[in-house]
Amino acid sequence: MDIEREYQRSLDFIYSFIDLSITRNLRYSPDKFNLSRMYVVMSLLGNPQLNYDVVHVAGTKGKGSICAMTASIMREAGYKVGFYSSPHMIDFRERIKVNDNEISKQSLINYVMKLRHIFITVDQLSTFEIITAIAFKYFADQQVDIAIIEVGMGGRLDATNVVEPIVSIISPISHDHMNILGDTIAKIAREKAGIIKKSVPVIISPQKESAKEEIKIIANRKGSFIIDVSENYTFEQINYSLEKQSFVIKEKLIYPSDTCNPIYEIPLLGDHQINNAITAFACILRLRKLGYEINENALKNGFSKVEWPGRFEVVCKKPLIIVDGAHNRDSFRKLRDTIKKYLAGKKVILIFGASEDKEVKLMIKIIKPYIEHFIFTKSEHPRALGLGELEKFASSLDLDNYSIGDIGSIVPLILRKSDQKNTYIASGSIFIAGAIKQLLTRQES
């Protein structure tokens, strides 16, 4: 068997179904967004998602980082851990991992061959539903102890919401997918909080007040114990560099404590990643209460060994090239703050491309004061915004910029002509960040 050819045929089969991720002008409609198809598929598969414990994570920003840290800590504690995330940055198999090992090409081929007769019998099934079903079945067959499941979009009607978690987590909520989830933070929070299950504890990352109110209303209605990270914990940063940052987590106590708090290190940069780490920490404490044995070494090692690419990730040192998957207004504020902190005084050039449904003008305005020059480009994704539209924004904002339509030519140009004092950041979309990282990897090989 030609594995590469069969692997591509398997991907072609998966993407031959309704792919909402590439649909322009997507609207929230009952025929597209409901769980009925997913319940049918999972029933036909024997409901494998009920065969292991689940931590279910929704939110706008940080949910992937929280999942990655939680999974890393649980692996270090000796557990077999499934990790489902989306979208992938470079390789499809990044979405489905067991103990940080991506599903093999042969395994994916086998699952598509074995399950395709089920998938073709369910009317209007989507690509994401198929991927989710394969992941849940794979985790059951691999006999994982626990699976860390990241919501794709929203929460209430997301395909992953057929799980029965032991812990739910809501990461920070901000404006994104407004045409689908709602045009206010409260409406978006209502959809995200749809993952909360009856009597299942829910951990809430630091939130805007309107989001927190909505989440707590739904949690109280379902009798779910609430752990509010911002009310229970704070942190002190010890050190930071372009390689890692260290910090201590402090409990907010009524009475002062002389307890010596351990120092944790993470290779993910920015203050927002410490808040994500605290949310993962709160999850680990809850899992301990539920009977999981997770010692302090597992916590420390899990944090220090976590890998989550495309989050202010240094992919080249000379010249300094960073990729970041920021793609909405809130993540661009975090990117701006991280640039201010980590790249103070440096000349920063932003390689920028975005999807057509994003608040592109607002994102550019947020980051503009800290960018010397913009290079506009376009990924191969079907929803990528055209260069003409980007140039209109540039003109209206009086930006120092130029456009390169062929993203593949950017890295050779930078490496050939760049001033080593320049810092390049590729952002605006996970697909832009992934493309630049992949091009650099090929350049080095």
Asked if 286 and 227 touch (Cβ cutoff 8 Å), the reply is yes
Residues 298, 164, single domain; the answer is yes
Residues 287, 391, single domain; the answer is no
Residues 43, 60, single domain; the answer is yes
pLDDT of residue 176: 60
Residues 18, 148, single domain; the answer is yes
Residues 266, 283, single domain; the answer is yes
pLDDT of residue 397: 86
Per-residue pLDDT 10s for the chain (445 aa) are: 699 999 999 999 999 998 766 555 555 555 567 899 999 999 999 999 999 999 999 999 999 999 999 999 999 999 999 999 999 999 999 999 999 999 999 999 999 999 999 999 999 999 999 999 999 999 999 999 999 999 998 899 999 999 999 999 999 998 765 555 656 899 999 999 999 999 999 999 999 999 999 999 999 999 999 999 999 999 999 999 999 999 999 988 755 555 678 999 999 999 999 999 999 999 999 999 999 999 999 999 999 999 999 999 999 998 999 999 998 989 999 999 999 999 998 999 999 999 888 889 999 999 999 999 999 999 888 888 999 988 888 888 888 888 998 999 999 988 887 667 889 999 999 999 999 999 998 776 5
pLDDT per residue as tens digits for the range 30-42: 556 789 999 999 9
Report d(CA 139, CA 49) in Å as an integer: 8
Q: Determine the structural domain holding residue 331 and report its residue range.
A: 313-444
Residues 58, 195, single domain; the answer is yes
Task: From 239, 272, 305, give the residue that closes a domain.
Answer: 305
- Report residue 127: phi and psi, to 5°: -55, -45
Task: From 305, 334, 362, give the residue that closes a domain.
Answer: 305
CATH classification of the domain holding 431:
3.90.190.20
| Neighbour count for residue 218 (Cβ, 10 Å) | 20
Residues 214, 350, single domain; the answer is no
CATH classification of the domain holding 232:
3.40.1190.10
pLDDT per residue as tens digits for the range 116-137: 999 999 999 999 999 999 999 9
**What is the number of domains present in the chain?**
2
Residues 288, 266, single domain; the answer is yes
Residues 280, 341, single domain; the answer is no
Please tell me the pTM assigned to this model.
Answer: 0.93
Residues 331, 246, single domain; the answer is no
What is the dihedral angle through the alpha carbons of 85, 87, 89, 90, rounded to the nearest 10 degrees?
A: 100
Residues 327, 402, single domain; the answer is yes
Task: From 252, 285, 305, give the residue that closes a domain.
Answer: 305
Report d(CA 268, CA 314) in Å as an integer: 10
Residues 292, 417, single domain; the answer is no
